[in-house]
Chains A and B, each alone.
Chain A
Amino acid sequence: MHKGKGMKFVGDSRISAERKPNASKDYSEYPGRTEAFWPNFLLKEWLAGSVFLVGFLCLTLAHPSPLEGVADPTDSAYIPLPDWYFLFLYELLKYEFAAGPYIIMGILVLPGIAFGALLLAPFLDNGPGRRPHQRPIAVTMMLLGLASVIWLTYTSAENVNWEERAEANKPIPPTEVEIDTEHPGYAIYENSCMSCHGGSLEGTAGPTLVGIDYTAEEIAQIAVDGIGTMPADQFTGTDEELEQLAEFIVTVNEEAK
């Protein structure tokens, strides 16, 4: 900082009129093989960042982000599950000493101790030595904490059938399909199918019938023989009615496209 007499300013501002040289510092006298961040190191960092970005984008492309069906607060059968990095806290609350009357233990005391110790680590581990073997207590505590977090996350995730969950909670396209109640097949649908597949084919006990990929013949066959968990002989009527029913479901699907 220039001080004292003889200072020159730009106009009436406080900016020094003296031009400072805009050149890199000389690091050659620093110990070891010190490098300037700008531009030498930044270029390498940039390359490492690009490789990372490519890997990240491959992950994004290979696994589209999941989206379940729209939130339905009345769905009492839904088993809630937090994002994976909260699973260990969630699993902790299943232990007897951290649940029910001891819930304070699970939600405040144990996480409080763990995260409090993490926050205050420099003051708890205040010896001068930096190498792990010079501070065995701190390192052991961290390893124990890490092991329990990994263990809790693992036990929590292990019992979840992720594919089944994703399959059961697929989003339903939000197209509002006009149901033609005048269609001759609708009355037959009402009698045979509505109790499970819903008034507008949206699905209740059975799956939705909107957006399915079957021909009229296949639909007719499913109505008679059943499929998956759907029992056979759900449809009772003449062959002509069966044809009308299948045709009705196909028309709704065509409209929904």
Chain B
Amino acid sequence: MLQKIYDWIDDRVDITPIWRDIADHEVPEHVNPAHHFSAFVYCFGGLTFFVVVIQILSGMFLTMYYVPDIENAWRSVYYLQTEVAHGQIVRGMHHWGASVVIVMLLLHTLRVFFQGAYKKPRELNWMVGVLLFFVMLGLGFTGYLLPWDNKAYFATQVGLEIAEQVPFIGVQLKTLLAGDASIVGAQTLTRFFAIHVFFLPAALFGLLAAHFILIRRQGISGPL
């Protein structure tokens, strides 16, 4: 039965080559912890992606309750935290995941760096990876404001003051982020929400796709 459904789809979409490209590839001995336990360092990248998936899923559920508006943002988070079934766990996953993803990302970067795995022909993938790191820091910065509590508000204000001190484009940069040259308020919150939920994830998905396609093309770097 399943085979028939598969064949029916395959007849129309020619899915086998796609499926083989995604799933069928080799795992060399030197990256397999079953053969060499020290190869667990190769897990950091995969675990980073795993946490990113957790972030995406928990974030999707958070937006079911979250209201990006200065009157209700904090109230909606408080409600989620205290009244909604499992709301505390979902927000907890998103909150701690944001820290864990930075830790895993750092470990993954250090593994690649100290193994010199970014050398020819993998220079481009390293750069995509560093851009992913920047996007992740941007997600951390914008997400920090969203609960609209005191630490969020004042940390964002400091961040925006720093952006303002950039020569020549400082004020424009701050206005772009905050929606106003001097007020950190309703506009700032909606902008940070849009950046956190639409702009940066879009960049994240594009860069992740490039990262994975390049890995599949080039294969994992060989043993040292």
Contacts and interface: CB of A to CB of B under 8 A. Distances in A.
Q: Do A and B bind each other?
A: yes
B28 A34 contact: yes
B78 A174 contact: yes
A78 B155 CA distance: 10
B149 A20 contact: no
B159 A82 contact: yes
Interface residues of A, number: 82
A131 B96 contact: no
A135 B23 contact: no
Nearest to A165: B151
Given A20-B16, A60-B89, A85-B137, A131 B30 contact: no
A126 B95 CA distance: 39
B78 A61 contact: no
A161 B6 CA distance: 60
B119 A60 contact: no
Interface in B96-122: 96-100, 102, 110, 113-120, 122
B122 A122 contact: yes
A81 B144 CA distance: 11
A92 B81 CA distance: 34
Interface in B197-224: 221, 224
Contact of A65 (B91, B144, B150, B153): B91
Top 9 nearest A-B pairs (CB, nearest first) are A130-B116, A65-B95, A32-B29, A80-B154, A71-B153, A122-B123, A60-B92, A68-B149, A38-B23
Interface of A: 10, 13, 15-16, 19-20, 22, 24-25, 27, 30, 32-38, 40-41, 44-45, 48-49, 52-53, 56-57, 59-61, 63-73, 75, 78-86, 90, 93, 103-104, 107-108, 115, 118-123, 125-126, 128-132, 134-135, 138-139, 142, 146, 169, 171, 173-174
6 contacts: A53-B50, A67-B78, A67-B147, A71-B153, A75-B150, A122-B122
